[in-house]
A and B are shown apart, each in its own frame.
Chain A
Amino acid sequence: MRIGRPTLFALGIAAVLAGCTEDATAPGKCPGFCPSGQLAVVDTILYIISRDSSHIGYVQADSAIDMLAINAFGVDSRPIFKLGPVPNRLAVSTTDTTTSAALSVDSALLTLNIDRRDTLATNLRISLYRLPLTIDSGTTLGDLSGPFTDSLVRTVNVDSVLALPGGVDSIAGDSVVATDTTRITLRVVMKLDSAQAAYVAADSGRSAFGIRISADSLASVAFRTLAGGAGPILTWWATFDSSGTNVHRVIGTAVNLFNSFVHNVPMPALDSNLLVGGVPSARSLLRFSLPRNIRDSTQVVRATLLMVPITAPVGVPSDSVILTFARVSADLGAKSPCIPVGSLCSAPGAGDSSVVVAEPVRMNATDTIATDVTLIVRAWQGDTLGPQALMVRQLPEGANLISLRLYSSRSTAFRPALHITYVPRYSFGSP
């Protein structure tokens, strides 16, 4: 069998085509068979934060996503809220739109949503107080000392009801249901009888309540507010005459008109240090000045922002302090907008840690807060026109009475620093 010329050419061309791929990677035998330059890593701590400042008054108690109920560590905080009007008339018949007045208002169900609590707290009790309808954002704990003394509506032991089958107290009519698998968030429904609910026709059923909690220990609970998407609601029940027969119907659900919390924690005061968190909330603006040789000619592989607390945050473990560090799109001081423009400098984006990062702060400890801001620094390298500034705030803002005081650039020993690791520009060798 003879292999002819066509075969030979086909073989050659096929072999060449088969090799039309690149695979040029080989282990380097240095220095003889490696490029003359070498990649290096530089690690340094830069004190490049200056003109850092704090500002207060961003989120007030009445616009926070949580109402704080605390009765521990000398802190006394009590949620207060106002519920809207409900008419006492109803179209009883399904075929007749004529409304008729309620014969009597029998009861109401108050629904509260617990957003945060310490699961180690035992015998957690919620005491509901009736408050005057005049409560507003200016109301203080002292203003309500009277109602909180003599206007107790009723008390529910949350742990006891939660322990019942289905979380339902069939006698009292209360229920406590866990709304997530961690059993931290709860929906508490308190039944109020006609006397406790006290429908006042002259006020169209408007009502206001306050909450005080107690527990064996760690009594700290955050109730979700209207701003948080699940404020308190009150469902009214009444008896109507339906063609000579008394029927029991829901006449309406009173929505949450106002919510806040009053407390005995003094408003944090600004000084030469940095202040973050508290109520009303404070933010700090850190201004960086990245050296141009690092900004323009290196690749940052790791950057850690170091900040030292002056005092340890004190509270129950569930009152964890989380700081967020958000890039600002323009340095306007206290009014600096965050990226993206219009955002509230709030929660970290979906995986976009080049815009905002979060760092938890350990309770009862003054450890240095080390926050990885690598992607933020890299973003500054890519956007040389943008301000190199971070807005530091607490998450959630205005819903934590713990404020954190940190050393500022005015403190020589403990001023904020940027621990940065970078790869200098590689100098390709000859030609």
Chain B
Amino acid sequence: MRYVTMAALAGVVVLARPLAGQDSQFGIRGLGSPGTFMSVRAWATGGALAPFDGTSALTDAALADLTRLTASATEFSAYRTVDDGTNSSSLRSSRFPMLTVAGPVTGRLVIGGGFSTYLYRSYDVEVPGVVVIRGVPEAVVDHIASDGAVTDLRLAAAWRFSSRLSVGAGFHILTGSSTLTADRFFTDSATYKNASQVDQESYDGLGVSFSLLATPIPSLRVSAFLRSDNRLRAEISGFQNAQNDLPTTFGGGLQWAVTPEVKLAGAVTHANWSVSGPVGGAFNTTNWSVGGEFGRTSFPVRLGVRGGQLPFGPGPAAPTQLGISAGTGFVFSQGRGLVDVGLEHLRRSGGGLTENGWILLVGLTVRP
């Protein structure tokens, strides 16, 4: 057994080849690639459990389910291949997209907060070309990159009116920054010096969110949520570089506890991202997810599927995405600690470009 473990570990390390993730080529021309606001537990169900998960940042009302102080962190490594029909590239990245801390203040009031990634804004594009300078064609390679994200700082509270109804509200501060790089490399570097420009772009914005979580019958839970963000302002060196409206997002979810060891859920989210960009470049998105959690709480099996659209991309229609996920969790220290792992295969396509890849997820939840 020990040798099998070691061999499997070695195999994973060696075969961990660049393949997909939350950073996406589809966000380059827009504001970025939206975050998921999901814990690893919810992510492994395709996001179907996110509206009912207090360690996710999707809804505030779900905080009411936390009966003790709970801190949760999410980390993922994404491997993706980008195929534009001509070139295929293997990319990889690691992110720490979410941290939540929440706990009850009184028997009915739970407050929480933390950060999560609102928009992923990392990309790195190389564009070769030829420019004619002083009458001579010169080969160049342009290298334009962004490394950063828009982060959502959340302060939220949930109130449990009864065992059947909870409501929540949150206040969101959008912040963060990206390091922007633009380089032009000349093949004839003896004649032409390379040009390099680096700027720091910072973001700010505000948002509010409201949600409710109802349990009409003991085995059925219903969630509804609404979030409105005002605008995203970007500044470089203290000067406003851009300002874009942000969408209003709303959605709902349904969770059915078939038995104590079988939970099925589904969720739908809609966001009017079209307000964020010019017509033809930004699209409203509807995303859905279906999934479930099976087995004992100490060692569940989670499965899920999610799909929908991405808000930014070239062409007349929004790019689409489809993800299939699975995962499990491991309870330790008499339930005070929980490690969740997950794996998602994600495919995104649109505008003649396809991204395929895997996301490996690890989450740690501590309940002291």
Interface residues of A (CB under 8 A from B): 1-16, 18-39, 41, 43, 299-302, 374-375, 378, 419, 421, 423, 425-426, 428-431
Contacts A33-B314, A426-B182 hold; do A25 and B124 have CB atoms under 8 A apart? yes
CB distance from B124 to the nearest CB of A (A): 4
Given known contacts A13-B362, A33-B28, A428-B182, is B93 in contact with A374 (CB within 8 Å)? Answer: no
A66 to B87, CA, bound (A): 63
Partner of A302, one of B4, B29, B147, B193: B193
Q: Which residues of A contact B195 (CB under 8 A)?
A: 39, 299, 301, 423
**Is the Cβ of A378 less than 8 Å from the Cβ of B193?**
yes
Q: Which of A20, A27, A34, A428 contacts B77 (CB 8 A)?
A: A20
The 18 listed contacts between A and B (C-beta, < 8 Å) are A1-B4, A2-B1, A15-B77, A16-B361, A19-B16, A20-B94, A21-B94, A23-B92, A25-B126, A27-B84, A33-B28, A34-B127, A39-B182, A301-B186, A375-B193, A425-B197, A431-B31, A431-B244
A26 touches B124 (CB 8 A): yes
A5 CA to B146 CA, complexed, in Å: 39
Neighbouring A residues of B9 by C-beta, 8 Å:
10-11, 14
* B92 and A35 within 8 A (CB): no
| Residue in B13, B31, B91 whose CB lies within 8 Å of A15 | B13
Residues of B within 8 A of A419 (CB): 134
Is the pair B125, A15 in contact by a Cβ cutoff of 8 Å? no
Q: Which of B241, B351, B361 contacts A431 (CB 8 A)?
A: B241
Query: Which residues of chain B come closer than 8 Å to A20, judged between CB atoms?
Result: 77, 94
Among A2, A13, A28, A429, find the residue whose CB has the most chain B CB atoms closer than 10 A: A28
> Are the CB atoms of A430 and B242 closer together than 8 Å?
yes
A430 in contact with B25 (CB, 8 Å): no
Chain B 44-97 residues near chain A, CB threshold 8 A: 75-79, 82, 84, 86-87, 89-94
Q: By the criterion CB–CB under 8 Å, are A33 and B127 in contact?
A: no
CA distance A145 to B126 in the complex (A): 74
Q: How far is the CA of A426 from the CA of B87 in the complex (A)?
A: 26
A118 to chain B, nearest CB (A): 31
When the two chains form their complex, are residues A26 and B193 in contact, meaning their CB atoms are under 8 A apart? no
Of the residues B4, B30, B193, contact of A7 by C-beta under 8 Å? B4
Tell me whether A5 and B330 are in contact (CB under 8 A).
Answer: yes
Instruction: Select one of A24, A31, A425 contacting B91, CB under 8 A.
Output: A24
- Given contacts A27-B128, A301-B192, 6 further A-B pairs with CB under 8 A are A12-B343, A18-B12, A22-B92, A23-B93, A27-B126, A430-B242
How many A-B pairs have beta carbons closer than 8 Å: the answer is: 211
Residues of chain B contacted by A7 (CB below 8 angstroms): 1, 4-5, 8
Q: Which residue of A lies closest to B183 (CB)?
A: A39
CB pair B79 A19 closer than 8 Å: yes
Contact B133 A35 (CB under 8 A): no
**Once the chains bind, are A19 and B87 in contact (CB under 8 Å)?**
no
> Least Cβ distance of A1 to chain B in Å?
6
Which one, B144, B146, B328, contacts A28 given CB within 8 A?
Answer: B144
The reply on B18 being an interface residue by CB < 8 A is yes
Q: What is the CA–CA distance of A426 and B127 in the complex, to the nearest angstrom?
A: 15
Complex: how many Å from CA A19 to CA B15? 10
Residue of A nearest to B343 (CB): A12
Please give me the residue from chain B that is nearest to A2 by CB atom.
B1
CB-based nearest A residue for B339: A9
Interface centre among A27, A41, A299, A430 (most CB of B within 10 A): A430
Whether the Cβ atoms of B330 and A9 lie closer than 8 Å is yes
Residue from A5, A10, A30, A430 in contact with B31 in the complex, judged by beta carbons closer than 8 Å: A430
Closest-by-CB residue of B relative to A1 is: B4
B265 lies within 8 A of chain A by Cβ: no
Closest CB in chain A relative to B276 CB, distance in Å: 9
Q: Is B201 part of the contact surface with A, judged by Cβ < 8 Å?
A: yes
Complex formed: what's the CA distance from A35 to B182 in Å? 10
**Other-chain contact of A24, B93, B277, B351 (Cβ < 8 Å):** B93
CA distance A27 to B143 in the complex (A): 9
The contact of B12 among A15, A25, A301, by CB within 8 Å, is A15
- Chain A minimum-CB-distance residue to B315: A32
Indicate if B187 sits at the interface (CB-CB under 8 A). Answer: no
- A378–B196 Cα distance when bound, in Å, is 12
Q: Is the CB of B91 within 8 A of A26?
A: yes
Tell me, rounded to whole Å, the shortest Cβ–Cβ distance linking B54 to chain A: 23
A214 and B89 alpha carbons, distance in the complex (Å) = 72
Q: Assuming the A-B contacts A11-B12, A22-B94, A431-B234, are A34 and B125 also in contact, with contact meaning beta carbons closer than 8 angstroms in the complex?
A: yes
Task: Report which of A6, A23, A36 forms a contact with B29, defined as CB distance below 8 A.
Answer: A36
Q: Is the CB of A15 within 8 A of B28?
A: no
Q: Mark B107-136, 1 if CB is under 8 A from A, else 0.
A: 000000000000001111111100101100
Q: Which residues of A contact B30 (CB under 8 A)?
A: 430
Chain B residue at smallest Cβ distance from A303: B193
